[in-house]
Structure 1
């Protein structure tokens, strides 16, 4: 269900990435009213959507229903460039084995207690990190996420004090990547592993995958 899209294969995911940018705009601008992200073309894209970004997309029959973004912390990233004050206690965490996590979303009709999309994306993030020797994930998040992640058994540590940003109480954190966190995330919604699809190749799609034309 989770497809990893990076610089090496993004040319095979043009339609899906376009959906993903438009969904991000609908959610972050349309729903959440983060008007600083508004663009006239209806695509939510920032300076970190570049060749270094890795996207984890939840696809159902070619349709994007959820996703998130990972950026290497040795490259410019959101916390370092925009919100460094959120790491004013422990300092910015950078390393070849640390990635920053941003822009998680699930489409409205696939939310709710009965849906597994969110936790499949979260499990996919850990699965990807474990496969690529990533030891930790940094993230700027609203503080209400913290108890949800602790409920999943994640090790989450603040990098600084919370701050009010555009009416939202936000905190910079670092999350340890572990097999236990991955397994507990799967178990929370009884999700079967692995969740990441085999890598798409030019002219081929994974078994059971089909493309829906996009206008």
Structure 2
């Protein structure tokens, strides 16, 4: 399932964002060996300060299994500020109707071990559909994305081939990079859905996810409170202290004592 996090709801889903940054660190630094900035096990760069939209994929246990970042091209973005060599001296693309997709990744380790409920290929396609459907709903007409030849082949195999490329394919460290263009059309979305047999709505409503997150955390909180009350009750030296423990217990939700 897909969640979109932006400036309006990032405070509500801060824990998911944090897990997403950790996934990016594992993928881009640990697995792929990119020269990215890692702070406390999290990959965060200056473009995360530009109020991007994040398309985040979650499994049934609400673990982050994939993500991508969407950023307006009217301001700073990676193609114009980091990968400008691809443009070969041409001015960067800038349009309110064209956004840049970067930091696309899926959690191979979790999916390889069957913990995500999807294969890597299916998860990749679901994330692609999430990007395209969110973009189309937001009025975005085109996506520009910097990719390597491997990702280019993945796009083509999943019936999501770019309709054009910007600039040239150039060397970027140990790999080559190119800028691909994808229109956010209903036809493209249908092709990728058909390729991966994706049906129905893949986006989870925010209120439903918030309830699921609360239900997931509640048992942990209950256990912690239980342990606290047990310690307080066993260490009480008189009836007054025991009564105070019972009163606090009732005020915090009537967690039963043993």
TM-score (norm 1): 0.88
Contact 2:133 2:184 in 1 (8 A): no
* RMSD (CA atoms): 2.3
SS of 2:57's partner is strand
Which residue number in structure 2 is paired with residue 159 of structure 1? 166
Residue in structure 2 matched with residue 120 of structure 1 by the alignment: 126
Which fold has the larger relative contact order, with Cα–Cα distance below 8 Å and residues 6 or more apart in sequence? 1
After superposition, give the CA deviation of every residue in 1:147-172 in whole Å (9 maximum; x if it has no partner): 33233143431111111111101112
Equivalent residues of 1:66, 1:117 under 8 A apart: yes
Distance 1:33 1:155, change over 3 A: closer
Cα distance between partner residues in 1 of 2:160 and 2:28: 27
Alpha-carbon shift at residue 90 of structure 1 (Å): 6.5
Deviation string for 1:25-84 (max 9, x for gaps)?
A: 0111111111x2142411100001025210011112221111111001112100011112
Say which is worse superposed, 103-112 or 160-169, in terms of deviation. Answer: 103-112
Select between 60-69 and 15-24 the one with higher mean Cα deviation.
60-69
Contact 1:126 1:182 in 2 (8 A): yes
Q: 1:206 to 1:25 in 2, by over 3 A?
A: closer
2:23 is matched with 23
Other-structure match for 2:137 = 131
Point out where structure 1 has 5 or more consecutive residues left out of the alignment: none
Q: Which residue of 2 aligns with 1:32?
A: 32
Give unpaired runs (5+ residues) of structure 2.
221-258
Give the corresponding residue for 1:192.
199
SS in 1 for 2:100: strand
SS at match of 1:4: strand
Q: CA deviation at 1:89?
A: 7.5
Pick which of 140-149 and 87-96 moved more.
87-96
State the TM-score, normalizing by the size of structure 2.
0.74
Is the CA contact 1:91–1:159 (under 8 Å) kept in the aligned structure 2?
no
Partners of 1:71 and 1:100 within 8 A in 2: yes
Separation in 2 of the partners of 1:119 and 1:208? Answer: 27
Q: Distance in 2 between matches of 1:65 and 1:79?
A: 25
* Contact 2:146/2:177, CA 8 A, preserved across alignment: yes
Aligned pairs (5 A) from 1:62-211: 62-88=62-88, 91-108=91-108, 109-110=110-111, 114-115=119-120, 116-151=122-157, 152-198=159-205, 200=206, 204-206=207-209, 209-210=212-213
Residue 58 of structure 2 is matched in structure 1 by 59
**Separation in structure 2 between the aligned mates of residue 16 and residue 104 of structure 1, nearest angstrom:** 16
